[in-house]
Structures are given as structure tokens and as C-alpha cells.
Chains A and B, each alone.
Chain A
Amino acid sequence: MTHRKKNRLLTTVLAAGLVPVSAFAGVFSLAMAADAAVTKASCQVNAVLLKKEGDGTIPPELEFLKPTLQTEEFENYKGYELIERKALKLALDTKSEATFTIGHRVGLTLLGGDEARLKLHADLSSRDGTKSLLSTDYSINNNGLLMIGAGAYSDEKRSGKLFFAIQCGGAG
């Protein structure tokens, strides 16, 4: 009789302790999953040539830039051409680099962030690769766009202003 009472008491005490601990662990796990730090990211870097001449038609491969290209900042440009597109997979604190056929190198490093916002480092080299034109640390919304205007560009077939559009999306 007394032994059973002790068992029941012990069971009740264990249950009373187990339930809040389990609830706390569940809530804590969900919170940790929601605020999980980003450890890798996928990026695409587009080398885009913007020209004063053109009919204003945005090609399908640059459709994702339409809201950007239609802002006042780019209203002087009427021709749009994708020169090259590179994909980069980023790991935390490790630099990944893409070399374009036109000579520029774009380096990206994931510095941190969460699922809502990424912290990145970007650098851009000169066309001959000997100098750094830009080195910056920035934070941006997940899948947000950063544009880098690299000045005038011309070759045998085309001429205009060269821009690099960098878009990154994080993953846990």
C-alpha cells in the first residue's frame, strides 16, 4: 500500500517535471529553427550591359531586373543585354569567386545572417584582374539585389555601361 503510494507520488512528480521540460524543449527547438543562422547561400552574378540605344524591351533573361531597370536611376538606358551569368555557392566565411569572360572577377563571401537577412562581402576586380575596384561589406534582405556599376564597356560588337547584379539567397 505504502509502496504504491510512493510510486504514484514519484510518477506524479516525474510527470509534473517532464511536461514543462518537454514543452520548453519543443518551444526552444521551434524558436531555434526559426532563427537558424544561415551557413550557406546561393548567388547569381549577372554582368549586364545597359545601352542608351534600344527600344526599351527587357529580354526574358533579365526579366527579374525589370523593377530595378524601370526606376529613375536607369531611365536613361533603353537597351539591355545579358553578357554573362555566373552562379556561386557560398559557405560561411569562405570566399567564392567568379571570373567573367570580359575579365572582371567578382568575389563573394557569406559573413552571416539569418533567414531574413544576409551579411555579405563583395569585391570586384578590374578587367585585367590586377586591381581591386571595390570591396564592401553589406547586409541585404534574403534574395535582395545589389547593383555594381563598373563604368563604360565596349568591344567590337557593343558598348554601354557595365553593371553587375548580385542576388543571393541564404539556406540553413
Chain B
Amino acid sequence: MSVLRTTSAGKPALTASASLPVAAWLGLMRDALGASLTAEAARVPEARFEQIWDEIDRSISQDASRPTAAPASFWQRVWAAFQPFRMPALAAAGAAAVALVALQMGSPEPVNEPPTVASVPKTAEPTPRDVQAPAPTPAPNPPAIAESFPSPPAAEAEIHGIEFGGKQGRISQTGVVTVLYVEEDTSAQKSERSL
């Protein structure tokens, strides 16, 4: 089929009819290779899609096969969500409880001593009856009391209301301390005694 023709230079040249089988063969090979690659490329997303779908099916089947698949109650979900905060919350509650107890605990000394305790003279000798009675709170030692009180700050008192029952009375503010002066009416007592 191939025809050798002479060119203008006189050299023989391969004409189209001679080269046709090779070109056709190459074209066929190219087409076949292209089609194969295209088909391969088309199968990749399909496989990936099938893989994803299989995974979804597997997870659905696992969820369906779980015995606890029933939806948890609201409080269970809240409790589960609260799980990271359980220990800090317990620690904070414990610290708050300790702080409250510490705040509530005051001085161990008894408050509001009965007047009889305060009125007992320091030099009074205990009678046998007193010895048999429950032991009263011992009279505090004056130096110890003085030590327990700090030096009074220089501050005046604010008088909200006052009643003088003696002969006379007045209020003096010195800038350092407030002094209330009362004067006992001794004349009435003397007259009563004379009666």
C-alpha cells in the first residue's frame, strides 16, 4: 500500500498511505490508554463513596446494636456533662463549708456572763455552799483583761439618746474621748436617812 514517491529533491518520501498503519495503531493505543485511565479515575470516587457509606452503615448498625441506645434522660445528660466539674465543685463546696464553719465559730469563751459572776468581789471567800454548787467562771485577772484590749483609739462617741437621772448632767467632747458627767443627788439620800 505504501507508495514511494520522489520528492522534488529526488529523494524518496514516505507518503500518508504508507504511514497510516503506524499512526492508527498509535491512536488506538492512546485512546485505549486514555479510556482505561478515565475509567480508573471514575472508579476512585465511587470506591471512596462506597467506603464512606460502609462506614456509615457500620456506625448505624453499631448504634442500633447498643443496649443503651435508648435516649438518656435530661438529668443523666446533665450529670454526664457535669462530670469534668465534679471534683472542682466538690472541692469548692468543701472549702466553702470549712470557711462557713470557721466564720461561725467564734470565741470559745462563754458570752453574756451572768451578772452574778461580774458582781462577785475579787476578795470574796467561797462559802461551803458555793463550793458544792457548780464551779462558777473564775473572775478574770485585771492585768490579763487590760492586755487583751488594745489602746483605745482617739475617737469620740456619737450619742444617739441620753437621759440623766441625777442632779445634773452634761456631755463633753474632748476630741480624744467623750465624757458624760452625771452628778448624784446626795441631798435626797441624806434627807431619807434623816427620816
- Seen from chain A, the residues whose Cβ lies within 8 Å of a Cβ on chain B are 6-7, 10-11, 14-15, 18, 22, 25, 29, 33, 36, 39-40, 42, 44, 61, 63-64, 67-68, 71-73, 82, 85-91, 94, 96-99, 101, 119, 124, 126-128, 131-141, 143-151, 163, 167, 169, 171-172
Contacts and interface: CB of A to CB of B under 8 A. Distances in A.
Across chains A and B, which 10 residue pairs bring their CB atoms closest together, nearest first? Answer: A99-B119, A145-B152, A91-B112, A136-B162, A10-B81, A98-B118, A141-B155, A140-B157, A149-B181, A97-B115
A119 B113 CA distance: 19
Contacts of A99: 115, 118-119
Contacts of B78: 10, 14
Nearest to B105: A172
A86 B117 CA distance: 10
Interface bin, chain B:
35 or more
Interface in B74-124: 77-78, 80-82, 84-85, 89, 92, 96, 99, 103, 106-107, 109-113, 115, 118-119, 121
A136 B150 CA distance: 24
B177 A147 contact: yes
A145 B78 CA distance: 58
Contact of B145 (A44, A139, A143, A151): A44
Contacts of A64: 146, 149, 151-152
Given A94-B112, A139-B158, A167-B152, A149 B121 contact: no
Contacts of A14: 78, 81-82, 85
A172 B176 CA distance: 26
A89 B165 contact: no
A133 B184 contact: yes
B53 to A, nearest CB: 16
B172 interface: yes
Given A71-B177, A150-B182, A11 B158 contact: no
A146 B180 contact: yes
B128 interface: no
A139 B160 contact: yes
Contacts of A73: 172, 174, 177, 179
Given A10-B77, A10-B78, A132-B165, A144 B153 contact: yes
A42 B148 contact: yes
B153 A134 contact: no
B161 A90 contact: no
Contacts of A131: 165-166
Contact of A138 (B115, B121, B158): B158
B173 to A, nearest CB: 9
A11 B121 contact: no
A140 B162 contact: no
8 contacts: A64-B149, A89-B110, A131-B165, A143-B150, A146-B178, A147-B180, A151-B184, A172-B103
